[in-house]
Amino acid sequence: MTPAWLANSPANNLARMAEREGSLIRAAIWDIGFFFCDTLIKQRLHLNPKKALGQLHKLPDEYQGPALTYLKGMCYYKLRQYDQAVEFFEQTIRDLDKMPDLEKTNLRASCLHHLGQALLLMAETLLADSHYEEALSHYLEVHKLNVEDKEIQSKALKGLAYTYLLMDDEDNYRVYSKLYFKSFGV
């Protein structure tokens, strides 16, 4: 059964409108619908991410899709369960890649941003525990993401340089240090 707060929401009304309209405006309607749903869930998510996650898991199948997967990832992110968050963010990106008419939504950019943040946090934790190889793999994954956020990219480069320094790998340390400073225009 659909919760009352979602059944009568603007996002649900926009979803019904998108079904009636042609594919030309479907992406715009979907993006606006996602914004309303995202805002509603995020209000609950910030207050109690565990409860919000429970509500998201109870939604019926017709609400399944990249937006819901992204929101579940956000709940796990807020709960600091970054490994789970990464799985949901990666699934969202895979689902969006299968939907060419929705590629212009801002969901992909937001998902990449939070995926990068989660991977950085995981890498920093691994680095603190002296798990250098695992930390490197997370930093490299962030570096390879197409994230427009320069801060995330520079943190990945800094993390790579520092990890290689701790591993006494001077060649890679120099490479990533130069890239890090270059990211600031130095």
In a domain, 165, yes or no: yes
In a domain, 8, yes or no: no
In a domain, 33, yes or no: no
- Please state, for a pLDDT cut of 90, what percent of the chain lies above it: 34
In a domain, 167, yes or no: yes
In a domain, 13, yes or no: no
pLDDT band at 3 (very low <50, low <70, confident <90, very high): low
pLDDT mean over 87-101: 85
In a domain, 182, yes or no: yes
In a domain, 19, yes or no: no
The number of domains in the chain is 1
pLDDT mean over 85-108: 80
Domain of residue 177 covers 129-186
Residue 35 pLDDT: 55
pLDDT, tens digit, for every residue of 171-186? 999 999 999 998 887 6
In a domain, 153, yes or no: yes
Per-residue buried b or exposed e for 139-167, using 16+ beta carbons within 10 Å of the residue's own CB: bbbbbebebeeeebbbbbbbbbbbbbeee
pTM over 0.75: no
Backbone angles phi, psi at 180, to 5 degrees: -60, -50
CB 95 within 8 A of CB 72: no
Contacts of the segment 51-55: beta carbons below 8 A, 24+ positions apart: 53/79, 55/3
